[in-house]
């Protein structure tokens, strides 16, 4: 057969470049400013979009092929896990509360990431940038759905999962992760990329993902572990994109540096605050622990992050602000958070408990500077009270930080006995903050943060009762009215783990699986 000569085989990289070669164009029937209306208002200057290399270099046909293979395996395991009642293999039923936290607090963020990356993908004029963002958008809807599908099986048997979408928009603590992501998608496309692509996916992702996925593996939860591992190769791509963004933007124009630095400061702090929930999960909610929050912070942020910021120094980037405070906080925040959830267990869709003696000893050993001195005596006191039938449930509502929306539970840097309060007067109102970081973030964009839907304020304003409920009626019980609004089943979803339906069912079902019927 007559073969054409001179047609050389193309390498992968070259082939990929041809596949996207010149796809985009300078529009002339509509102005570029009208076609890409959001690309300038943040003040970032880009001179040459072609300098953005698509770090994924995946053509769609290859993407479909690889991803389909992963989905086939993942769903086979999810199905087998469900069919074999795999949930009865978890270490003990307390573990379930960690994954309640995940489905309620994290999975909806994956969906928000999907939409957010679609927004940035649409708004960036460069071909490489758009392909990378849209591919991540597609991956993120994968993560949302594989999590929902994996955890759906738990929902069939255990409480607290049943109305996660409704609760996300209402339950007090869920406004912490939700407002974090709302903050990112309401920002411009470049800030979104620094917030989520870089700060969250690159700098902090190991502190979110590793604890949950390893936690699942340690605690016999094959379902969660499998979607975690399956998402890992996607995450590797996302991390590459996150770093690519920062380098691209900084290389384009020196004026971009101060803007990007401010975003890195802001989003590291915002992300760190959200991770309080993860810290608490690691130290208190995993029956079989992986490592302490403090150790995780040291390995994944101080060591790995330290190397990263050393690398970025050549662009003029310095490490994020407030690291000195975080350094001091790492001995405290997980304990402060667990104490808070223990207090507010009546208004929460997962259970809390006092750690066993073994677990208290583990905490003492992991936190020699703080646990015995500040936190263990309080837990032991609550345990004594609970034994006497006085399990402590706090029925007042806490003051929330206007920025991170966490109750004002954190202490002054350097004084773990003093709650940290900051405030700002703005347009005839007083706003409250948990820290210098949150205060400064507010001051930079007050018009944004005064809009925050603060769950406690909303309750006091009467916005958190079901339609038709009359708060002035005799015998009105505000807590129970709020729980109705949350769709939180009193006595099933909330309160202490000890005596809960989950605890009893798990024990009975595991008994059926391990013992002979009498």
- Positions 73 through 132 that interact with another protein (CB under 8 A): 74-75, 83-86, 88-89, 108, 111-112, 114-115, 118-119, 121-122, 127, 130-131
Does residue 290 touch another protein according to CB under 8 A? no
- The only residue of 56, 95, 102, 158 in contact with another protein, by rule CB under 8 A: 158
Give least dist CB 310 to another protein, A.
32
- The only residue of 49, 157, 362, 382 in contact with another protein, by rule CB under 8 A: 157
Other beta carbons within 10 Å of 471? 10
Residue in the structure block whose two tokens are 């603060």: 454
Q: Which residues have a Cβ under 8 Å from the Cβ of 424 and sit 6 or more positions away?
A: 430, 431, 433, 439, 442, 443, 446
Residue number with CB closer to another protein (241 or 354): 241
| Phi then psi dihedrals of residue 419, to 5 deg | -65, 140
Give least dist CB 223 to another protein, A.
14
SS3 408: coil
CB 330 within 8 A of CB 294: yes
- Which residue, 92, 19, 91, is CA-closest to 58? 19
Q: Which of residues 499-518 bind another protein (CB under 8 A)?
A: 505, 509, 512-514
Stretch that binds another protein, among 92-100, 164-172, 241-249, 327-335 (CB under 8 A): 164-172
| Phi then psi dihedrals of residue 89, to 5 deg | -90, -5
Stretch that binds another protein, among 32-40, 278-286, 351-359, 372-380 (CB under 8 A): 32-40
CB 340 within 8 A of CB 409: yes
Q: Distances in Å between the alpha carbon of 480 and those of 206, 390, 464?
A: 38, 20, 11
- Which residue, 234, 211, 249, is CA-closest to 102? 211
Give least dist CB 321 to another protein, A.
22
Stretch that binds another protein, among 33-41, 199-207, 285-293, 429-437 (CB under 8 A): 33-41
Contact mark string toward another protein, 447..476, x via CB under 8 A: -xx-xxx----x------------------
Contact mark string toward another protein, 46..75, x via CB under 8 A: -------------xxx-xxx-xxx-xx-xx
Angle, helices 256-274/436-444, rounded to nearest 10 degrees = 130
CB 202 within 8 A of CB 131: no
Q: Which of residues 409-448 bind another protein (CB under 8 A)?
A: 448
- The only residue of 49, 53, 92, 138 in contact with another protein, by rule CB under 8 A: 138
Q: Which of residues 171-200 bind another protein (CB under 8 A)?
A: 175, 178-179, 182-183, 185-188
Does residue 13 touch another protein according to CB under 8 A? no
Give least dist CB 475 to another protein, A.
28
Contact mark string toward another protein, 374..413, x via CB under 8 A: ----------------------------------------
Give least dist CB 304 to another protein, A.
30
- Which residue, 401, 397, 168, is CA-closest to 273? 401
Q: Whole-angstrom Cα distance, residue 77 to residue 150?
A: 10
User: Count residues contacting another protein (CB under 8 A)?
Assistant: 102
Residue number with CB closer to another protein (84 or 429): 84
Does residue 152 touch another protein according to CB under 8 A? yes
Give least dist CB 196 to another protein, A.
14
Report H helices in 175-303: 175-186, 189-192, 205-218, 222-252, 256-274, 276-280, 293-296
- Which residue, 507, 503, 506, 505, is CA-closest to 495? 503
Give least dist CB 333 to another protein, A.
23
Tokens of 484: 């109705």
Q: What is the DSSP letter of 89?
A: G
SS3 348: coil
- The only residue of 9, 13, 18, 47 in contact with another protein, by rule CB under 8 A: 18
Residue number with CB closer to another protein (175 or 411): 175
Does residue 12 touch another protein according to CB under 8 A? no
Stretch that binds another protein, among 139-147, 324-332, 340-348, 377-385 (CB under 8 A): 139-147
CB 85 within 8 A of CB 41: no
Q: Whole-angstrom Cα distance, residue 346 to residue 64?
A: 46
- Which residue, 287, 351, 280, is CA-closest to 92? 287
Give least dist CB 400 to another protein, A.
12
Give least dist CB 384 to another protein, A.
34
Give least dist CB 363 to another protein, A.
27
- The only residue of 165, 288, 378, 387 in contact with another protein, by rule CB under 8 A: 165
- What does the angle CA 349 – CA 353 – CA 356 come to, to the nearest 5 degrees? 150
| Phi then psi dihedrals of residue 432, to 5 deg | -115, 145
Residue number with CB closer to another protein (165 or 288): 165
DSSP secondary structure string for all residues of 7-31: -PPPPHHHHHHHHHTT-S---SSS-
Does residue 41 touch another protein according to CB under 8 A? yes
Residue number with CB closer to another protein (8 or 314): 8
């Amino acid at each position: 057969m007559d073969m054409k000569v001179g047609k050389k085989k193309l390498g992968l990289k070259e082939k990929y470049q041809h596949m996207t070669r010149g796809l985009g164009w300078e529009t002339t029937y509509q102005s570029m400013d009208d076609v890409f209306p959001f690309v300038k208002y943040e003040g970032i200057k880009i001179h040459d979009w072609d300098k953005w290399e698509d770090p994924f270099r995946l053509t769609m046909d290859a993407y479909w092929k690889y991803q389909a293979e992963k989905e086939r395996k993942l769903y086979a395991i999810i199905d087998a896990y469900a069919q074999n009642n795999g949930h009865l293999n978890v270490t003990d039923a307390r573990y379930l509360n960690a994954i309640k936290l995940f489905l309620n607090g994290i999975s909806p963020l994956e969906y928000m990431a999907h939409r957010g990356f679609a927004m940035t993908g649409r708004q960036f004029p460069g071909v490489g940038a758009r392909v990378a963002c849209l591919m991540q958008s597609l991956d993120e809807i994968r993560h949302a759905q594989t999590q929902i599908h994996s955890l759906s099986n738990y929902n069939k048997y255990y409480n607290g999962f049943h109305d996660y979408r409704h609760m996300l928009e209402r339950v007090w603590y869920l406004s912490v992760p939700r407002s974090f992501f709302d903050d990112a998608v309401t920002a411009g496309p470049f800030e979104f990329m620094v917030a989520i692509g870089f700060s969250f996916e690159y700098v902090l992702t190991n502190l979110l993902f590793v604890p949950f996925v390893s936690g699942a593996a340690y605690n016999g939860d094959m379902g969660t572990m499998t979607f975690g591992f399956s998402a890992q190769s996607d995450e590797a791509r996302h991390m590459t994109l996150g770093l690519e963004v920062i380098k691209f933007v900084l290389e384009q124009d020196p004026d971009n540096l101060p803007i990007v630095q401010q975003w890195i400061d802001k989003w590291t702090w915002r992300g760190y605050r959200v991770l309080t929930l993860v810290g608490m999960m690691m130290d208190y909610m995993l029956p079989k622990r992986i490592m302490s929050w403090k150790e995780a912070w040291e390995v994944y942020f101080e060591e790995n992050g330290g190397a990263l910021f050393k690398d970025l120094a050549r662009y003029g980037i310095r490490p994020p602000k407030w690291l000195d405070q975080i350094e001091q906080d790492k001995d405290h925040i997980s304990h402060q958070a667990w104490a808070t959830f223990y207090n507010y267990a009546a208004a929460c869709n997962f259970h809390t408990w006092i750690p066993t003696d073994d677990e208290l000893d583990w905490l003492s050993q992991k936190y020699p500077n703080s646990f015995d001195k500040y936190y263990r005596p309080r837990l032991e006191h609550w345990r004594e009270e609970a034994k006497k039938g006085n399990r402590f449930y706090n029925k007042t509502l806490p003051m929330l930080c206007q920025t991170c929306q966490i109750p004002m539970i954190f202490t002054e840097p350097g004084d773990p006995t003093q709650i940290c309060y900051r405030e700002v007067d703005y347009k005839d109102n007083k706003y409250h903050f948990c820290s210098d970081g949150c205060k400064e973030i507010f001051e930079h964009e007050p018009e944004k943060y005064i809009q925050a839907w603060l769950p406690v304020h909303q309750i006091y304003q009467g916005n958190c009762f079901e339609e038709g409920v009359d708060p002035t009626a005799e015998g009105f019980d505000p807590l129970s009215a709020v729980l109705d609004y949350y769709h939180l089943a009193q006595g099933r979803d909330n309160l202490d783990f000890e005596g809960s339906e989950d605890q009893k069912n798990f024990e009975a079902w595991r008994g059926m699986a391990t013992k002979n019927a009498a």
